[in-house]
């Protein structure tokens, strides 16, 4: 449902969805019931371009182009899969173990580079769930561009650092957008899980 059309008139949502349908297995696509496009308060509040909630994907009509649109939709489909397959994705603890080990390595990198003084932040690095204070610290104190350089080879993106759910969704997005070898190299536990699903 298009509440407000994309500001970029060249975006063809039907073509985009057709391309995505060719990339993802049918069992994953079945988790999405509706897609809404427009201006949504929750997107503005979280400062994001897309969001998945209860079978629906909400997309900002300010998404710049089809490439960004494809990545946003695929990313949110990862969260949809998590909603129905959480137990299967995380039950063995392998993704969490890998994620927290990478967070521990990042903690040491940040400490070595002078971004952490003392151990007051240490507890936040060992919580797999999203924490807005931690995200704000990463984004505003260190900044995602600096994190990107410091975490290269550990995480697929700076945002993947923020929680285990984003770690999974970021790998899912990369996997289904043609970068499966990168996913295999950097997030092997997620790669193996995605191979199971397809």
Token pair listed for 51: 């969001």
Q: Are residues 79 and 100 in the same domain?
A: no
* Cα separation, 164 vs 173, whole angstroms: 14
Q: What is the pLDDT of residue 1?
A: 60
For residue 4, give the DSSP letter: S
Q: Are residues 123 and 26 in the same domain?
A: no
If 0-12 CB within 10 Å is exposed, 13-18 middle and 19+ buried, where does residue 41 land? exposed
End-of-domain residue from the set 34, 62, 86: 86
Q: Are residues 60 and 137 in the same domain?
A: no
Look-up of token digits 């040491």:
108
Give the DSSP H or E segment for 53.
strand 50-53
Q: Are 61 and 39 in contact (CB under 8 A)?
A: yes
Q: What is the pLDDT of residue 29?
A: 72
For residue 31, give the DSSP letter: T
Q: What is the pLDDT of residue 7?
A: 81
Q: What is the pLDDT of residue 153?
A: 92
Q: How many CA atoms lie within 13 A of 6 on its CB side?
A: 17
Structural domain boundaries, residue 183: 92-198
Total number of domains in the chain? 2
Q: What is the pLDDT of residue 118?
A: 63
Q: Are residues 111 and 188 in the same domain?
A: yes
Q: Are residues 73 and 109 in the same domain?
A: no
* Cα separation, 162 vs 116, whole angstroms: 17
Q: Are residues 97 and 182 in the same domain?
A: yes
Q: Are residues 119 and 82 in the same domain?
A: no
Q: Are residues 75 and 129 in the same domain?
A: no
Q: Are residues 98 and 77 in the same domain?
A: no
Q: Are residues 68 and 134 in the same domain?
A: no
Q: Are residues 33 and 107 in the same domain?
A: no
Among residues 187, 170, 183, the alpha carbon closest in space to that of 99 is found at: 187
Q: Are residues 166 and 119 in the same domain?
A: yes
Q: Tell me, what CATH number does 43's domain have?
A: 3.30.2010
- Listed as ranges, residues in the chain with pLDDT below 50 are none
Q: What is the pLDDT of residue 175?
A: 94
């Amino acid at each position: 449902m298009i509440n407000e059309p994309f500001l970029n008139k060249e975006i063809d949502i039907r073509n985009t969805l057709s391309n995505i349908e060719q990339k993802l297995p049918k069992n994953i696509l079945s988790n999405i019931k509706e897609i809404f496009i427009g201006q949504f308060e929750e997107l503005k509040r979280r400062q994001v371009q897309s969001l998945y909630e209860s079978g629906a994907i909400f997309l900002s009509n300010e998404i710049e182009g089809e490439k960004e649109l494809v990545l946003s939709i695929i990313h949110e489909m990862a969260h949809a899969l998590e909603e129905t397959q959480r137990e299967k994705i995380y039950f063995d603890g392998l993704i969490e173990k890998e994620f927290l080990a990478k967070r521990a390595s990042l903690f040491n990198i940040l400490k070595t580079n002078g971004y952490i003084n003392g151990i007051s932040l240490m507890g936040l690095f060992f919580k797999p769930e999203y924490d807005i204070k931690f995200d704000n610290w990463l984004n505003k104190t260190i900044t995602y561009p600096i994190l990107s350089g410091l975490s290269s080879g550990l995480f697929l993106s700076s945002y993947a650092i923020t929680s285990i759910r984003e770690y999974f969704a970021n790998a899912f997005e990369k996997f289904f957008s043609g970068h499966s070898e990168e996913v295999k190299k950097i997030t092997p536990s997620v790669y193996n899980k995605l191979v199971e699903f397809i």
